[in-house]
């Protein structure tokens, strides 16, 4: 399906984590330091799409996912979900939102009660939000198992009797019991064997289409992201630097960081690789994010303006969004990267 209607609109979303300060630093009156995990994140999630979120370790992907489901409180910014002001939700309105927008975790085992059968887990989920009257629960449990490709006899078994991939299916079934509109999957399959990863990701693809779900798919593995996502958002040091349709990101990445990230990915088809060099230099500390463009310390195209001014996310012809001064028509950039 073509997804165009916005489901979630994220503006200026910022999240810092204060760093514990030693006595000496406090005595010297040194300013409180903070990890800049998200800085003014701008992103729109469209209804019915799978949006992949990629970027190096520590760039803020999980912080974004957790802030969107209110596991973390944002410092500032806004998240609109339909007509809801997500960051202001409290009490039953927040619980209702958490039913509609659910996070599925990498390790469902840690959140599954080892003494509860799969059937009991699912019935509990159905009961908590009054999703079904008791009499209809057995049929719904069977339906949920079928949806995620587990045999009916799974109902009477305990979590430890299943493999990692099957447990992931149980986690997905538990989420689906609440009939969510949006699933946020953070490194859902990273801990599984490659062959099992493909099965779980394909299941997610089927469910997404079948149930018209919106999915945020956070992952390291660019191959998986490419396989599953309609669009991709690339993050660097707490900022969204590029957002585009998956085929555009992989065929013609615009941001120098995206180009370097793809060039560095060993698993991608060599014919699709860009001529850009792989990323050089160290990832700066999130305690000390460079001024202006956060990527400037590693960018082969950096010029004066990059240190002075933070690039805003611009929409290019064709719809690709990119935060880089090279694409600003008013910029005196020495090189343009249009390819």
Ligand X SMILES: Nc1ncnc2c1ncn2[C@@H]1O[C@H](COP(=O)(O)OP(=O)(O)OP(=O)(O)O)[C@@H](O)[C@H]1O
Residues in the site for ligand SF4, rule: CB under 6 A? Answer: 255-256, 293, 295-296, 299, 301-302, 306, 311, 324-326
SS3 of 64, please?
A: helix
Give me the least distance between CB of 262 and ligand X, in Å please: 17
* Single residue of 62, 137, 229, 259 touching Mg ion by CB under 5 A: 62
User: Between the CA of residue 118 and those of 48, 152, 205, what are the distances in Å?
Assistant: 28, 10, 23
Judged by beta carbon, residue 239 or residue 296, the one nearer ligand X is 239
Task: Give the one entry of Mg ion, ligand X, ligand SF4, none that residue 58 binds, where binding means its C-beta sits below a cut-off of 5 to 8 angstroms depending on kind.
Answer: ligand X
Query: Is residue 58 close enough to count as binding ligand X by CB under 6 A?
Result: yes
Judged by beta carbon, residue 137 or residue 229, the one nearer ligand X is 229
Rounded Cα distance between 180 and 131, Å, is 11
Other Cβ atoms within 10 Å of 126 Cβ, number: 22
Q: Which among 49, 54, 157, 63 has a CA at the least distance from the CA of 103?
A: 63
Query: Is residue 286 close enough to count as binding ligand X by CB under 6 A?
Result: yes
Task: Please give the span between the terminal C-alpha atoms of the chain, in angstroms, as a whole number.
Answer: 29
Q: Answer yes or no: are the C-beta atoms of 185 and 193 closer than 8 Å.
A: no
Query: Is residue 284 close enough to count as binding ligand X by CB under 6 A?
Result: no
Q: Which among 45, 24, 214, 153 has a CA at the least distance from the CA of 145?
A: 153
Give me the least distance between CB of 187 and Mg ion, in Å please: 6
Task: Give the one entry of Mg ion, ligand SF4, ligand X, none that residue 60 binds, where binding means its C-beta sits below a cut-off of 5 to 8 angstroms depending on kind.
Answer: ligand X
Q: Which residues are at the interface with Mg ion (CB under 5 A)? A: 61-62
Q: Which residues are at the interface with ligand X (CB under 6 A)? A: 17, 35, 37, 55, 57-63, 220, 286
């Amino acid at each position: 399906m073509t997804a165009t209607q916005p489901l979630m609109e994220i503006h200026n979303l910022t999240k810092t984590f204060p760093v514990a300060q030693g006595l000496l630093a406090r005595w010297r009156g040194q300013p409180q330091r903070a990890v800049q995990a998200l800085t003014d994140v701008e992103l729109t999630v469209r209804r019915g799409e799978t949006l992949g979120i990629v970027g190096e370790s520590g760039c803020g992907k999980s912080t974004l996912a957790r802030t969107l489901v209110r596991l973390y409180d944002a410092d500032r910014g806004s998240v609109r979900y339909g007509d809801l002001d997500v960051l202001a939700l409290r009490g039953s309105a927040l619980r209702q939102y958490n039913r509609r927008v659910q996070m599925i975790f990498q390790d469902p085992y840690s959140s599954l009660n080892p003494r509860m059968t799969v059937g009991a887990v699912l019935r509990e989920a159905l009961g908590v939000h009054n999703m079904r009257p008791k009499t209809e629960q057995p049929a719904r449990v069977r339906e949920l198992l079928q949806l995620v490709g587990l045999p009916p006899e799974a109902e009477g078994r305990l979590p430890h009797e299943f493999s990692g991939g099957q447990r992931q299916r149980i986690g997905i079934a538990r989420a689906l019991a609440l009939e969510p509109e949006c699933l946020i999957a953070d490194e859902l399959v990273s801990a599984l064997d490659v062959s099992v990863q493909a099965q779980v990701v394909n299941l997610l693809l089927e469910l997404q289409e079948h149930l018209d779900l919106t999915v945020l798919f956070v992952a390291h593995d660019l191959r998986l992201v490419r396989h599953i996502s309609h669009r991709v958002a690339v993050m660097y040091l707490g900022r969204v630097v590029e957002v585009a349709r998956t085929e555009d990101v992989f065929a013609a990445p615009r941001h120098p960081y995206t180009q370097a990230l793809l060039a560095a990915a060993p698993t991608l088809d060599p014919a699709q690789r860009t001529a850009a060099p792989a990323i050089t230099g160290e990832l700066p500390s999130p305690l000390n994010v460079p001024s202006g463009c956060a990527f400037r310390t590693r960018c082969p195209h950096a010029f004066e303006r990059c240190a002075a001014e933070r690039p805003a996310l611009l929409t290019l012809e064709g719809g690709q969004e990119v935060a880089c001064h090279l694409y600003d028509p008013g910029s005196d950039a020495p090189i343009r990267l249009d390819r």
